[in-house]
Chains A and B, each alone.
Chain A
Amino acid sequence: MSAEPRLAIEGLQIRIGGRQVVDLAYLRLGPGEIVGLAGESGSGKSMTAQAVLGLTKTIGAAVAGSVVFEGIELVGLDDAAMRDIRGRRIAMIFQSPISSLNPVFRVGDVFVRALRMHGAPSKSEAVERAKAALREVLLSPELLERYPSQLSGGQAQRVSIAMALALRSEVLLADEPTSALDVTVQAEILDLLRGLRDETGMSVLFISHDLAVIAELCERVAVMQRGQIVEEGIARDVLTTPTEDYTKELVASVPRIGGGAVA
């Protein structure tokens, strides 16, 4: 059974300009767990993930509630401590892989700088760790020399995952990481995430509107609608025999070949 959850979100409320966009009662992520956060566009899934890392201030959002990571309360955490956690302990990857990389810097520039900032003792050491991480995600280390516009979507996403790997993050917040990728590439990324979890015990919060992908990858799933979690539980159970109406609608809308339940 589950030990202490690695990440525990409780009573999270996010308001933007007087409008309440997230009202999340509870969500837990255990060590080595892959949990899905499902829902349609605008349900507040991305907001939730960004709020964990304190990234919502840039759009003027007010965050209240509790997000506890390994005993540390993240809501209201001071800047310096939050910056230490970002990347190094909780990493985040985004939907558009190539746009998530700075177009005028070589891949290695940002990668190495991030490693140095989070404690790599020297530049050469950081470069070595970056190269090792790239090999782990089955990319050639020479990709460090390339610019993002020279990478494919799949390669770019692997680079972002490699950064989380190199920084040895304990939690990965993945915000629609495969939605912009081809189906075959998508499968490779899912394999990669599973492999990372198996090897390093990384916990993954996998956000997606695509129930089929969630069914494939996640052990548990929480369904969000309009900022609230309407149903939560073991993925297989929730997706094959949903109890809430909204979940039923979502599941029913997934196209299936030859009918039958989502595997």
Chain B
Amino acid sequence: MNVQPLPETVEATRSDLVGRLRTNRLVVFGLSVSLVIVLAGIFAPLIVPYPEDAGGAAHPRETLLVPSSQHWFGTDQLGRDVFSRVVYGARVSPMIAFLVLLIACLVGVPLGLAAGYFGGPIDEVIMRVTDVFLAFPALLLALALASVLPPTIGSTTIAIAVTWWPWYTRLIRGQAASVTGRPFVEGARASGVSHARILFRHVLPNSLTPLIVQVSLDVSAVILTVSALSFLGLGAQDPTPEWGLMVNQGQQYFPGQWWLVTFPGLAILITAVAFNLMGDGLRDVFDPKMVRRRGALGG
């Protein structure tokens, strides 16, 4: 009889992580769909039937055609193929989202590191400013900013990035503060290791995992924000094939020419779902908390 000691905790080994990732079907679905969407965006010019329709083209004799074999998603009010535009849209919103998150990290992470590591007055000032930004619901602040800026993709990006950085500052600050409190950091400082070295060699790497999880969970939220701004007329302008903008433009032909609104909106939904599932999966994989017990009930 082979009796083994009961493990006190279930430490996740590398193969465990991959194993867990593979077994969660929803997550696999999310990951693959996200990948398909990103690839579709990248290879859009090669795969769509009417690439010029995603730009300034107009076909006045083919306006508002019902979906058919020639135009899978029909055509819009300018005769442009909706399918082509929707696929090209996969370049716009996700790309804006990635840019936004990149900027938010570039601004928020260093601020969070500084606040958590140095503490004291630096921490106070940074956190108070962060608190004020966080006092605004995200979409609201982005809306206010975007409405005073000229309506372009750039403005959208900046507006949302300005709204988003505080979340990462707060997240990183917590991590940095707890890592800084550990004895080995004190020891390093005592032996004269420079602040920069400690920050980049020790504090930052230990704070990265929750950041990665949070960023991946945020992708879908940013995409929804981008499309909301465009829907209100604040972001991308015609002829840019941004999904939210397309829904806005299609509103006046609704519900007669339902395809103008349905397909771009569906694209937003599916993209958001895919990235959400992916983010969920990453969180489950990296979450240091114990793996949840199956059917945690007893008799």
Contacts and interface: CB of A to CB of B under 8 A. Distances in A.
Interface of A: 16, 19-23, 41-44, 47, 54-60, 79, 82, 226-228
B196 interface: no
Given A42-B7, A42-B8, A79-B299, A20 B294 contact: no
Contacts of A23: 1, 3
B296 A227 contact: no
A238 to B, nearest CB: 21
A112 B264 CA distance: 59
Contacts of A79: 299
A-B pairs with the 7 shortest C-beta distances? A58-B298, A42-B5, A57-B298, A227-B3, A21-B6, A79-B299, A226-B3
Among the interface residues B2, B3, B298, which one has the most CB atoms of the partner chain A within 10 A?
Answer: B3
B132 interface: no
A57 to B, nearest CB: 4
B3 A59 contact: no
B4 A60 contact: no
Contact of B297 (A16, A58, A228): A58
A16 B3 contact: no
B201 interface: no
B289 interface: no
Contacts of B182: none
B293 A60 contact: yes
A60 B291 CA distance: 13
Nearest to B2: A20
Contacts of A58: 293, 296-298
Interface string B283-299: 00000000001111111
B251 to A, nearest CB: 48
Nearest to A83: B299
Interface of B: 1-8, 293-299
Q: Is the interface of A mostly helix, strand, loop or mixed?
A: mixed
A228 B298 contact: no
B16 to A, nearest CB: 14
Given A20-B3, A21-B3, A22-B3, A55 B8 contact: no
Contacts of B7: 42
A20 B1 contact: yes
Nearest to B3: A227
A19 B1 CA distance: 10
A209 B84 CA distance: 69
Contacts of B8: 41-42
A60 B293 CA distance: 8
Among the interface residues A16, A54, A227, A228, which one has the most CB atoms of the partner chain B within 10 A?
Answer: A227
A42 B5 CA distance: 5
B293 A57 contact: no
B4 A21 contact: yes
B6 A47 contact: yes
Nearest to A82: B299
A255 B111 CA distance: 49
Contacts of B5: 21, 42-44, 226-227
A43 B7 CA distance: 9
B6 A57 contact: no
Contacts of A228: 3
A19 B293 contact: no
Contact of B299 (A22, A54, A59): A54
Nearest to A41: B8
Nearest to B299: A79
23 contacts: A20-B2, A20-B4, A21-B3, A21-B4, A21-B6, A22-B3, A23-B1, A41-B8, A42-B5, A42-B8, A43-B6, A44-B6, A55-B298, A56-B298, A58-B293, A58-B296, A58-B298, A226-B3, A226-B5, A227-B3, A227-B4, A227-B5, A227-B6
A127 B293 CA distance: 36
A16 B3 CA distance: 11
A128 B134 CA distance: 51
Contacts of A20: 1-4
A16 B298 CA distance: 14
Contacts of B3: 20-23, 44, 226-228
